[in-house]
Structure 1
Amino acid sequence: MTTPDDRTLTERGLAPTGRGRVLLIACGALAREILDLRAANGWDHLDLHCLPAILHNTPDRITQAVVDAVEKRRAEYDDVFVVYADCGTGGQLQAACDRLGIEMVQGPHCYSFFEGNDRFAAHAEEEITAFYLTDFLVRQFDAFVWKPLGLDRHPDLLEMYFGHYEKLVYQAQTDDPALTEKARACAGRLGLEFERRFTGYGDLETTLAEV
């Protein structure tokens, strides 16, 4: 099955033609949100190419994957924008974008820019024991959390991984009762208190509006 990870909107016949086109190189975990924002705001000049979301499990590979995608496609566009935050690259992604002369989303990770970087930073120290999920991670909890940590095979590891966490914060991009209940169930599986925090698209929306 083909997903936004596999083809750009141009290749799917959905991208506009003419000048002023911008290529978004984005994390696959943000595909649905970016496409929703693009459609809602009529941002037809934005073309989306997503890298596999599973790269977040190996953040040392993100920077090179982004660089390769930029170098392969930038000649087709008037501008390129990287829709990743630092995402565990230790500043390497920002340094690479600076070398390439392109901009990227600001913030340490998507949890921060969904809530708003300033707001997230204001309470980050108080929530050092919080584990965050977004809409994407609630939908993909087993594939991106449970199985990669080996909890499907070794449930005894749960205490080692999550013993120091106190609550699960579900940052909801959409008002979906079914997702909320699934997030609540994820908290139960991890043995954590549950909090739902509606963030909408946060700084992702304001940043793309500027693009």
Structure 2
Amino acid sequence: MSSSPTARTSTTGSSTSSPSPDRSRIAVIACGAIAQPISEVVERHGWSVDIHPLPPLLHNHPEQIAGEVEPLVVALSGSYDTVAIAYADCGTYGALDEVCNRHGVRRLEGLHCYDVYGGADRMRSMLEQQPGTYVLTDFLVKSFRRTVVQELGLDRYPELRDDYFRHYTRVVWLAQDPDAELQGLAEDAAAVLGLPLTVLDVGLQGLDDSMRDLLAL
């Protein structure tokens, strides 16, 4: 496989228009919530990969993910030798696997991106030990006010917090690239939910390994 010094990220979102033919590269349809760290992994290794992100807020509507991914798979398959899907199951309950089976493509292993970052065994053990765990990634820490507070209407109806989160007991931040600013935002997010914060510094190795497996590199 030829290498490229940088990854190219499509800005067309869920558009089904085909890019210019470039059959020497791999197309990765990525969840918008992990598209940027995937770009970092791809650029670090110089892989010949074009990233086509879908809107990150699809995570709030997992029933729509498969329907957004499939037409993009069809569109990109005419221009790339390989198309891969950088989603785990992500709450689609097998619908994304049906898309993969229909079109002969692969997705990331795991139930969700937390498995990708933290490792499926560690996440399973952590959630078994404390089921009331609310998990954040760097993306969710940065976008918490938009993706959680606004999307759930907590900015307008703060009294709903206890209805949504009464059974949660802690927040765990899977920190990929922690710094003081993100630490503060994570603490603010936990405070909004009224829960204690635990920080796990997971880095990007899990995502790196998962992308290697996905792309068979």
- 2:85 is the alignment partner of 1:85: no
Deviations 1:94-148 (A, max 9, x none): 1210111011101111112110112222332113101011000111001100011
Q: Secondary structure at the match of 1:82?
A: strand
For residue 162 of structure 1, report the CA deviation from its aligned partner: 1.0
Q: 1:6 aligns to what SS in structure 2?
A: coil
Find the counterpart in structure 2 of residue 194 from structure 1: 197
Q: Compute the TM-score of the two structures, normalised by the length of structure 1.
A: 0.89
**Which of 160, 163, 172 is equivalent to 2:163?**
160
Shift of 1:41: 1.4
Whether the aligned pair in 2 keeps the contact of 1:5 and 1:51 (CA below 8 Å) is no
User: Which amino acid in structure 2 is aligned with residue 209 of structure 1?
Assistant: R
Q: Provide the C-alpha distance between the structure 1 equivalents of 2:49 and 2:159, rounded to a whole number of angstroms.
A: 46
AA in 1 matched with 2:39: L
Cα distance in 2 for residues equivalent to 1:180 and 1:146: 18
Match of 1:120 among 99, 123, 132: 123
Q: Does the 8 A contact of 2:132 with 2:170 survive in 1?
A: yes
Tell me if structure 2 keeps the 8 A contact 1:105–1:204. Answer: no
Output the CA distance in 2 between the equivalents of 1:196 and 1:5: 32
Q: TM-score, normalised by structure 2?
A: 0.87
Q: For 1:112 and 1:202, how far apart are their aligned partners in 2?
A: 12
Q: Deviations over 1:71-110 (max 9, x none)?
A: 1111110101100001110111012101110111011111
Superposition pairs for residues 1-211 of structure 1, below 5 Å? 6-7=11-12, 19-43=23-47, 45-210=48-213, 211=215
Give per-residue Cα distances to partners, 1:162-204, cap 9 Å, x unaligned. 1111111111011322101110111011100011111112432
Deviation of 1:18 after TM superposition, in Å, equals 5.9
Q: Which runs of 5+ in 2 are unaligned?
A: 1-8, 14-18
Number of residue equivalences:
201
Deviations 1:6-25 (A, max 9, x none): 338xxxxxx9x965411000
Deviations 1:4-52 (A, max 9, x none): 57338xxxxxx9x965411000101111101111111111x11100010
Q: Give me the identity figure in percent.
A: 38
Aligned partners of 1:5, 1:139: CA distance in 2, in Å? Answer: 22
SS at match of 1:155: coil
Local SS of the residue matching 2:78: helix
